[in-house]
A and B are shown apart, each in its own frame.
Chain A
Amino acid sequence: MFKIVERSPLVPNLHLLVVEAPEVVESIQPGQFVIIHAGEGSERIPLSAADWDREKGTLSIVFMEVGTSTSKLAQMKAGDELNTVVGPLGIPIDTMKYGTVVCIGGCFGMGSIFPVVRALKESGNEIITMLEGRSENLLYWEDKLAVFSDKIIRLTRDGSCGYKGHIKKGTEILHEMNIKPDRVIANGCTTLSYLAVKEYEHYNVPVIVTLNTIMIDGTGMCGVCRCTVDGEMKFACVDGPSFDGRFVDWEELAARRKQYISEEAFLVHHSGCGGI
């Protein structure tokens, strides 16, 4: 059993979960994820590592309340126990020295990009972090990210803080500042990842995205997480979950992501990422 140390709302619809999983965090790397199973009768759902403390043996996760399993998770509190926190799963994101790296985080991705930003900074990169949300009250962890970023750019669709606009606006700002990224990394819902690829494609550098496929086991046994990258069938849980988004078949991914939409009690009050 895995004890919950903290479960608190971060911003509307997004929650912070801190759970004791000492064995999992011992070797965890940026870009890896865990599978959580709240208990008998729940789904097994994949969630990215947003931070960890190896000494305390705790793992932090930022999750969005979208459906049955995440709302069940949102009702749990400190002291409750989770049946399963298994991992670290997936292949870590490369965090070598590239030069200038643009890191984009939207919805839960503002959390899951954090370990990536930290590791990239430690490798000596210049980091431009972009936070994307509908409105000011949906941005979080700016202070945490600022520690490891050379620049933080806030993008809100209503213009309530930072720049008014979406992913595209970010590229315009870079242009004005005369910055050319050597690598782009985007974390968030499928829409955000897709837009990041479209808007940053012209730089001709890798745009690394984390694919939010449906998963069950997370160990390469079931095949539900399959996607097409560069014309080949890949299993996101063992070959990914991060890929160069320029080669991903997005149409197929979006369709597969919606497989269970009519089966799920769809409790979404979208936090504005418009996302799937």
Chain B
Amino acid sequence: MAEKRKINFERVEMPKQVPFIRKRNFNEVALGYTSEDAIKEASRCLDCKKPFCVEGCPVEIDIPGLIRAIAAGDFALAIKTLKEKNCLPAVCGRVCPQEEQCESKCVLGKKGSPVAIGRLERFAADWEASKGSIQAPCIMKKTGKRVAVIGSGPAGVTVAGDLTLLGHDVTIYEALHKPGGVLTYGIPEFRLPAKVVSREIENLQKMGVKLVCNFVVGKTYPLQKILEEFDAVFVGTGAGLPWFMKIPGENLNGVYSANEYLTRVNLMRGFEYPRTYTPVIRHKRVAVVGGGNVAMDCARTALRLGAEKVAIVYRRSENELPAREEEYVNAVEEGVNFHFLTLPEKLFGNDEGWLNKIECARMKLGEPDASGRRRPIRIDNSEFIMKMDACIIAIGNSPNPIIPQTTPDLKVSKWGTIEVDEETLMTSVDRVWAGGDIVTGAATVILAMGAGRKAARSMHEYLSSQ
């Protein structure tokens, strides 16, 4: 390690919109590094001989190479290095849980703050976009092999990108009218602007990926029919049916699944209503049930739609909160209330069927359960009432069932996830691979991309051997 150099343990902060302004608009919260910021932050990197950071990245970006280029002010080289391994750098730089991935392994993290790898990645991607011209990577000789990718979320997009670079002819089928999966319909504008996602998808299209929207594989055509037309198929269909709590009153008006709430606002641009047609009700008092990124997104969206009071109701304590630290802090700064160790048990409505109050019970933490987290236990006679006119349920989804239901030989687990070979991501159906949330259950963008990379490698091996 570079012993002689003075080590700087403090990272360069990234400017953000101030809370009292940003909580009422849908513009991006974090504003990104300037060139000076980026060079300064990049200069902290020790350029380790054995860079542990790389081990933390599921798509194995050459992180020291990227950072070296930024530190030297050669941003073109930086983006080139990045793109060798990541086809969605502007997305990952924004929403990757870096603190648990690459940055958690950075040696600087032992004594101070790790290098802000995600922010640097975002910087490089945004720098390229701001130049207006995006360099198309070079594509290998056409192989004549045809690949279908089902679902245009991060897993599908990665497979499409990787296989196109290797010379295969790729078509993506997407059920919705816009591509991007959760990146488009779920994660809100203020965290990941729609134009960032569409820019990355347009790049793929420029590389030659064909995109067919409004096509539900399993409904429009069965998977078997797709298989007749293509040499190999990747299934990356992500999450499906939202879970509800199975408590009384969940079908009252004013009760939403997180997916409905976010889809109305993001995919259907409800936040621009009435300029757009999909209506969004601007509730005044909103409870959000759950503690993950999805719950934070719903709560912060409700604030931006004008809610006076937004409360996150989570049955465990602050320590178990699964959301990214950064998003939790943002939510607190914006004035979201947190009710920890609280479990909603009944929803009540008025005569017209609209939610007006929620009965909750208090919880305490018991012994750790199978997941290693301490199990919440209900405290008897602790019920209390919250007056709320909306309740958004953000406790997760089961995997998308359409393809398993319509593909007789496709093996699924008892949770409905598609079963695959761990090494190759091959499913039980010949020539069909799968990855992302449909295999793992709800996970992260970068894990879905990592799966896409792994599947693409195995698919390429198969296609080359044919």
Name A residues whose Cβ lies closer than 8 Å to a Cβ of B.
23-24, 26-27, 37, 41-44, 68-69, 72, 83-89, 216-217, 219-224, 226-228, 233, 235, 238, 249, 251-252, 255-256, 258-260, 263-264
Which of B216, B240, B267, B353 has a CB less than 8 Å from the CB of A86?
B216
- The answer to whether B219 touches A263 (Cβ under 8 A) is no
Which of A72, A88, A223, A251 has a CB less than 8 Å from the CB of B219?
A88
A86-B214, A221-B240 known; 20 new pairs, CB 8 Å cut-off, are A41-B277, A42-B276, A44-B278, A85-B214, A86-B220, A87-B219, A216-B278, A217-B176, A219-B175, A219-B219, A219-B402, A220-B241, A221-B239, A222-B259, A222-B260, A223-B256, A227-B251, A228-B251, A263-B279, A263-B281
- The answer to whether B215 touches A220 (Cβ under 8 A) is no
Does B253 make an interface contact (CB < 8 A)?
A: yes
- The answer to whether B214 touches A216 (Cβ under 8 A) is no
Does B177 make an interface contact (CB < 8 A)?
A: yes
What are 16 residue pairs bridging A and B, where the CB atoms are less than 8 Å apart in the complex?
Answer: A23-B215, A24-B220, A42-B276, A42-B277, A86-B177, A86-B216, A87-B219, A216-B264, A217-B175, A219-B216, A221-B400, A222-B260, A233-B250, A235-B241, A256-B353, A258-B352
Q: Which residues of A contact B276 (CB under 8 A)?
A: 41-42
Question: What distance in Å separates the Cβ of A152 from its nearest Cβ neighbour in chain B?
Answer: 33
Q: Do A37 and B177 contact each other (CB < 8 Å), given the known contacts A86-B214, A220-B240?
A: yes
- The answer to whether A222 touches B219 (Cβ under 8 A) is no
- Closest A residue to B279 by CB, please name it: A263
Q: Do A255 and B353 contact each other (CB < 8 Å), given the known contacts A233-B251, A235-B241?
A: yes
Taken together as a complex, chains A and B put the C-alpha atoms of A85 and B244 apart, in Å, by 29
Does B269 make an interface contact (CB < 8 A)?
A: yes
Q: Which of B215, B256, B279 has the largest count of A CB atoms less than 10 A from its CB?
A: B279
- The answer to whether B353 touches A87 (Cβ under 8 A) is no
- Closest A residue to B261 by CB, please name it: A222
Taken together as a complex, chains A and B put the C-alpha atoms of A64 and B240 apart, in Å, by 30
Taken together as a complex, chains A and B put the C-alpha atoms of A223 and B261 apart, in Å, by 10
Taken together as a complex, chains A and B put the C-alpha atoms of A219 and B263 apart, in Å, by 13
| B interface majority secondary structure | loop
- Closest A residue to B352 by CB, please name it: A255
Q: Which residues of B contact A256 (CB under 8 A)?
A: 251, 253, 353
Taken together as a complex, chains A and B put the C-alpha atoms of A84 and B268 apart, in Å, by 13
Q: Which residues of B contact A228 (CB under 8 A)?
A: 251
Question: What distance in Å separates the Cβ of A41 from its nearest Cβ neighbour in chain B?
Answer: 5
Does B401 make an interface contact (CB < 8 A)?
A: yes
Which of A27, A216, A238, A255 has a CB less than 8 Å from the CB of B260?
A216
Taken together as a complex, chains A and B put the C-alpha atoms of A171 and B378 apart, in Å, by 54
- Interface size class on chain B is 35 or more
Q: Which residues of A contact B104 (CB under 8 A)?
A: none
Q: Which residues of B contact A260 (CB under 8 A)?
A: 279, 281
Which of B177, B216, B244 has a CB less than 8 Å from the CB of A89?
B216
- The answer to whether B400 touches A220 (Cβ under 8 A) is yes
Q: Which residues of B contact A259 (CB under 8 A)?
A: 253, 281
Produce 1/0 per residue, B387-412, CB < 8 A to A: 00000000001001110000000000
Taken together as a complex, chains A and B put the C-alpha atoms of A89 and B222 apart, in Å, by 13
Question: What distance in Å separates the Cβ of B353 from its nearest Cβ neighbour in chain A?
Answer: 3
Q: Which residues of A contact B269 (CB under 8 A)?
A: 41
Taken together as a complex, chains A and B put the C-alpha atoms of A211 and B248 apart, in Å, by 22
- Closest B residue to A24 by CB, please name it: B220
**Residues 72-128 (chain B) with a chain A CB within 8 angstroms:** none
Q: Do A86 and B215 contact each other (CB < 8 Å), given the known contacts A227-B251, A233-B251?
A: yes
Which of B221, B250, B273 has a CB less than 8 Å from the CB of A26?
B221
Does B242 make an interface contact (CB < 8 A)?
A: yes
Question: What distance in Å separates the Cβ of A71 from its nearest Cβ neighbour in chain B?
Answer: 10
- Closest A residue to B405 by CB, please name it: A238
Q: Which residues of A contact B244 (CB under 8 A)?
A: 223, 226, 233
Q: Which residues of A contact B268 (CB under 8 A)?
A: 43-44, 216
**Residues 265-307 (chain B) with a chain A CB within 8 angstroms:** 267-269, 273, 275-281
Taken together as a complex, chains A and B put the C-alpha atoms of A42 and B276 apart, in Å, by 6
- The answer to whether B401 touches A84 (Cβ under 8 A) is no
- The answer to whether A87 touches B263 (Cβ under 8 A) is no
- Closest 6 pairs (CB-CB, A-B): A255-B353, A263-B279, A223-B257, A222-B260, A86-B214, A223-B242
Question: What distance in Å separates the Cβ of B42 from its nearest Cβ neighbour in chain A?
Answer: 39
Question: What distance in Å separates the Cβ of B123 from its nearest Cβ neighbour in chain A?
Answer: 31
Taken together as a complex, chains A and B put the C-alpha atoms of A177 and B78 apart, in Å, by 83
Produce 1/0 per residue, B338-367, CB < 8 A to A: 000000000000001100000000000000
Taken together as a complex, chains A and B put the C-alpha atoms of A264 and B279 apart, in Å, by 7
Taken together as a complex, chains A and B put the C-alpha atoms of A44 and B277 apart, in Å, by 9
Which of A27, A41, A44 has a CB less than 8 Å from the CB of B275?
A41
Taken together as a complex, chains A and B put the C-alpha atoms of A23 and B214 apart, in Å, by 10
Q: Which residues of A contact B216 (CB under 8 A)?
A: 86-87, 89, 219
- The answer to whether A86 touches B175 (Cβ under 8 A) is yes
Q: Which residues of A contact B242 (CB under 8 A)?
A: 221-223
Q: Which residues of B contact A226 (CB under 8 A)?
A: 244, 251
- Closest B residue to A90 by CB, please name it: B219
Q: Which residues of A contact B240 (CB under 8 A)?
A: 219-221
Taken together as a complex, chains A and B put the C-alpha atoms of A37 and B278 apart, in Å, by 11
- Closest A residue to B244 by CB, please name it: A233
Q: Which residues of A contact B263 (CB under 8 A)?
A: 216-217, 221-222
